[in-house]
A and B are shown apart, each in its own frame.
Chain A
Amino acid sequence: MAQLWHRNDLLLMGVFTLAVLAMPLWLAPFGAGYPDLLQKLAIYGIFAIGFNILFGLTGYLSFGHAAFLGVGSYAAVWSFKLFTMNVLPAVLFGTLLAGVFAALIGFISLRRSGIYFSILTLAFAQMSYNLAYSVLTPITNGETGLQLTQSDPRIIDRLYVEATSGLPSTELFGLKMSGYPGFYFCAAILIIAFFFSVRIFNSPFGVKLLAIKSNQTRMGYTGYNTRPYLLVAFVISGMYAGLAGSLLAVTDPLAGAERMQWTASGEVVLMTILGGAGTLIGPLLGAGLIKYFENVFSAYNEAVLHQIFAMLPDWLQSAMVFVVNPFVGEGWHLTLGALFVLIVIFLPGGIMEGIRRLSSLVRRIIARSRRDGLQAA
């Protein structure tokens, strides 16, 4: 039996677990220490980790992953409506159904590579989005979105308790999934999801995926049937998206088709590239940053800006507000776009590359000052 854990892995997992569990503490100074946002950070972190298993390892860029996010949400809400408010079956259904969807869409899309693959995934996602608004309204409840109602059967819950007058809330064996318990549930799943991704990255399977990204032709002449490898990577990352989607429904039991729109697919691409595709932590950082700044910036409006620049002279205050205003509130996407352009041009490896460059710069400076010190002595 080979050694299951190396010391470095243990260290990584330990630090990661602590950092995630302590998020309410160290994010509080940034004004992000409240469960609603923390939950979102954890959930989109899972989405990005999963996306990175496909894009970061194989180089296949899917523009349709929001479809799996949406499927996960719908499946979870249906589980709440039909069976029970317990979140475990909901998460399980969401993940599995997204896996089935990913298998279907992946099977067809992976017949092509490069830009054609991306376009196929985009087309499938937009098809799902449109179907959710039209033919599938009995399942998706169209524009209103799928919600809980009092008349839902909830057959498992009914065995134990009578229906109450209000709408029930999601729970884990009696523990309500709102506030901090909700966050810690998502955090626990994030830790598990990260653990799986680390194992995949370090496995022969992961190395083979990287080799496909590097030279798929060579893989064929080396004896590999690359299609099933790609399909498995696609399905795994689709299941991560479904998991994230079902967690969105856990924190707020409601599912709408806009979750499947192409902008949502684009967002996870941004997160992954911003953080650093192909790195373990990068996509998580990217997801966290985007969701955090979305929260902060989109809350700003003209009144808030005037407050911020209150100490300036009147004319300068108006000028500043005029300049900054298009980038906040509804205009937050403009900021995001500009940031993305800057990153892709100056730091194609994302934040992780920035960190690497910075640390090597620091190391060089330290080495130089040590050398100068020696010369002086």
Chain B
Amino acid sequence: MNDIVLNVSNIGKHFGGLQALENVNLQIEAGKTHAIIGPNGAGKSTLLNVCVGRIKPDTGSVKFLGDNLTGRKPHEINQLGVARVFQTPEIFPELTLLRNVMVPAFAKREGAFKLNAFRKVDNEAEVRDEAEHILEDVGLKEQMNGLAGSLSRGDKRRLELAMCLIQHPKLLLLDEPTAGMSRHDTNRTIDLLRLIKERGMTKVIIEHDMHVVFSLADHISVLAQGQIIVEGSPDMVRGNARVQEAYLGGAHV
């Protein structure tokens, strides 16, 4: 049996009259890639929001390697080793790509607060080298001195992925990491995520693109109207009638 990295138990959350999540349970095993799929508005992003401290759940708790995440601030959760790529890219538009990736590296090295007002950024050769290396991995090295705000949506996403990867998180949460990408870039991202998996990083990935899901996932949970309706191996989910029904034939599973 593998260790459980993330343990989501009994999470419930409502917005006004809408029950966005209801009694959701999830166990993410170490080193595995766990996909969450489901139709639009199913509550997938809300579930990640609960995990990273953006939203307080009404009921239930989230445990990460023995630490309770519910009630913690986002920066505390990140410092414990959880990084996230958002559905709408959250980057630093006014900074260069290189700086975008160096800032998270400083957070990893220095913690939530450090007053280093007298060092020089340009002397941080180690961090810079690593940042360049990771930008190369995601295929953005040529643009590293350009401003992040001018990137295309797909490129912003890859940049955000680089910002997470430089922190070597214990758990990486990806919310539709390939949305808005060309086929070529999607395949490249799949390769990159496979490589990360070989290095043993645990991942949760939300994705509508079934090609991506079936290329990467070890385990799939299907969320519909705030509840997990099916859970199992990719093969099992692929043939499940309830999954077909939840998608109303909208996507070819």
Point out residues on A near B: beta carbons under 8 Å. Answer: 2-3, 6, 199-200, 202-208, 210-211, 213-215, 217-226, 228-229, 232
Contact = CB atoms under 8 A, between A and B. Distances in A.
Nearest to B173: A221
B116 A205 contact: yes
A211 B124 contact: no
B32 interface: no
B94 A2 contact: no
A89 B206 CA distance: 62
Contact of A224 (B84, B90, B99, B112): B112
Contact of B93 (A205, A214, A222, A229): A214
List the 6 shortest-distance A-B pairs measured between CB atoms, nearest first.
Answer: A223-B107, A223-B78, A214-B92, A220-B74, A225-B112, A205-B117
B103 interface: yes
Contacts of A208: 103, 106
B252 interface: no
Contacts, number: 102
Contact of B113 (A207, A211, A214, A228): A228
State which size class the interface on B falls in: 35 or more
Contacts of B107: 222-224
B163 to A, nearest CB: 7
B75 A220 contact: yes
A217 B78 CA distance: 13
A284 B83 CA distance: 41
Contacts of A232: 115
A337 B122 CA distance: 40
Interface in B55-92: 73-75, 78-79, 83-84, 86, 90-92
B62 to A, nearest CB: 15
Interface string B93-131: 111000100111011101111111111111110000000
A2 B120 contact: yes
Contacts of A226: 75
A111 B93 CA distance: 24
A219 B167 CA distance: 13
B174 interface: no
Given A204-B116, A224-B113, 4 more contacts: A203-B119, A210-B99, A223-B104, A223-B167
Contacts of A215: 90-93
Contacts of B167: 222-223
Contact of A220 (B73, B102, B113, B121): B73
Contacts of B74: 220-221
A20 B248 CA distance: 73
Nearest to B147: A214
B11 interface: no
B46 to A, nearest CB: 16
A221 B121 contact: no
A223 B112 contact: yes
B52 interface: yes
A213 B84 CA distance: 20
B102 A207 contact: yes
Given A213-B94, A214-B93, A205 B103 contact: no
A211 B95 contact: yes
Contacts of B113: 224-225, 228-229
Nearest to A210: B95
Nearest to B84: A221
A205 B112 CA distance: 12
A2 B84 CA distance: 33
A223 B116 contact: no
A133 to B, nearest CB: 37
A211 B117 contact: no
Given A213-B94, A214-B93, A215-B91, A222 B119 contact: no
A220 B79 CA distance: 10
